[in-house]
Amino acid sequence: MSETPRKMPPVDEQLATLMSGVEYGDETLRRQMERELRALIEQDRPLRVYLGIDPTATSLTLGHTVPLRKLRQFQAFGHHCIFLIGDYTALIGDPSDKNKLRPMLTQEDIKRNEQTYFEQAAKLLDPTKTELRHNSEWLGALSFPDIISLMAKFTAAEMLRRDNFRKRWDDGDAVYLHEFLYALMQGYDAFALECDVQVGGTEQLFNLMAGRKIQEDAGQRPHVPVTLPILVGLDGKERMSKSKGNHIGVNDGPNEQFGKAMSIPDDVVMDFFVLATNVPRVELPAIHDAIGRDPMQAKKQLARTIVSEFWGDDAAAAAQAEFERTVQRKEAPVEMPEFAVGDGMTMLDVLVAAGVAPSKREVRRLFEQRAVTVDGTAVEPGDMAAAGMVVQVGKRRWLRLV
């Protein structure tokens, strides 16, 4: 008797792709999770796989695309993928990678931030095959007794074993009770979604393991955490974050993405190729060698790849030409934004009105850094502005006054 043909791709093919680049920081745990994922895949059905992202800023960054790319791999194999917007977890803010209390957002902040999240995520996912959910759907329905019951599953000692909480505790810094709730809320997401797999960053492993415990206590099969390394920011040191200003935004234009990528330190270029692009893995050894021989050309290849994946090859070629013209040859760009200058406006007035920085304080800082020039000469905030001037702000921003 012949075996029933599989509905899903071969188990080994899926496992090799889905476990590539995954890190747990513990080889024993990795082997356990790989065994559990294999057992799930062997069931020959679409798995329920989710990734949650909190809308703490208006734009997704290249750092968010690391787990998004993994979610896309599950989607490509035919699994059911859920993009979860953490509109309730964002009220606390994930403390996983923080050594201090996160500023708390209002519901109005969160609603504004999340407006284009799914649209941005859809640059990597197939939107027609992606389920969009918000965790306010179930977390907002919990009663106070429900929350007490959830908290009773964990001890304070468990929470304080987290490295960042332990460090703050040992340093005498405050650890607030509401921060303990974050892992429980994310864990409850896994239960509410009845997920088989949860994708996240390595710094979220504690939260993901909390979800396994909540699922198991409720009689569900614990999901398999699939955790990816954290992408550093443009400074090459701290995690990429819009709040730190060290990010490349998914919605940044081609020229901005290219210019930002060119500012990445040489020693992390390879990390960006591995984590933040779809470059075939077989090409990575040659890229590694190229970085050692000619870092500038390798960085241009990275910048072209990033822009190409979001905006297409033509946009990437144009962005490279613009970078070489304006940054390397220090020529003015062919096209630039225009601003109609009014009578009596100073350079400070112009840059504030043109929105080149989010606040007047930030604009003043640009002047202090001698980053505002006209015809190559630094100008002062009180200098008078006039039509016909071409203003350069930093290396990549230009403004023509009309």
CATH says 254-328 is which class? mainly alpha
Exposed/middle/buried for 185, CB within 10 Å: 0-12, 13-18, 19+?
Answer: buried
pLDDT in tens, 182-217: 889 999 999 999 999 999 999 889 889 999 999 999
pLDDT in tens, 19-63: 999 999 999 999 999 999 999 999 999 999 999 999 988 889 999
Mean per-residue pLDDT, 82-99: 79
Please state whether 90 falls in left (phi above 0), alpha (psi between -120 and 50) or beta.
alpha
Tell me, what DSSP letter sits at residue 305? Answer: H
The DSSP secondary structure of 113-170, one letter per residue, reads: HGGGHHHHHTTTS-GGGEEEEETHHHHTT--HHHHHHHHTTS-HHHHHTSHHHHHHHH
pLDDT at 394: 83
Confidence of residue 3 (pLDDT cuts 50, 70, 90): low
pLDDT of residue 377 exceeding 50, the answer is yes
pLDDT at 1: 45
Mean per-residue pLDDT, 382-402: 87
User: Which CATH number does 338-401 carry?
Assistant: 3.10.290.10
Exposed/middle/buried for 164, CB within 10 Å: 0-12, 13-18, 19+?
Answer: middle
pLDDT of residue 104 exceeding 80, the answer is no
Q: Which part of the chain has CATH 1.10.240.10?
A: 254-328
3-class secondary structure per residue, 183-246? HHHHHHHHHHHCCCEEEEEHHHHHHHHHHHHHHHHCCCCCCEEEEECCCECCCCCCECCCCCCC
Q: Which part of the chain has CATH 3.40.50.620?
A: 11-228
Confidence of residue 99 (pLDDT cuts 50, 70, 90): very low
Helix (H) or strand (E) holding 53: strand 48-53
Q: Which part of the chain has CATH 3.10.290.10?
A: 338-401
Give CA–CA dist 385/383, Å, rounded. 6
Mean per-residue pLDDT, 380-398: 88
Fold assignment, 11-228? Rossmann fold (3.40.50)
pLDDT in tens, 276-333: 999 988 899 999 999 999 999 999 999 999 999 999 999 999 999 989 988 887 777 7
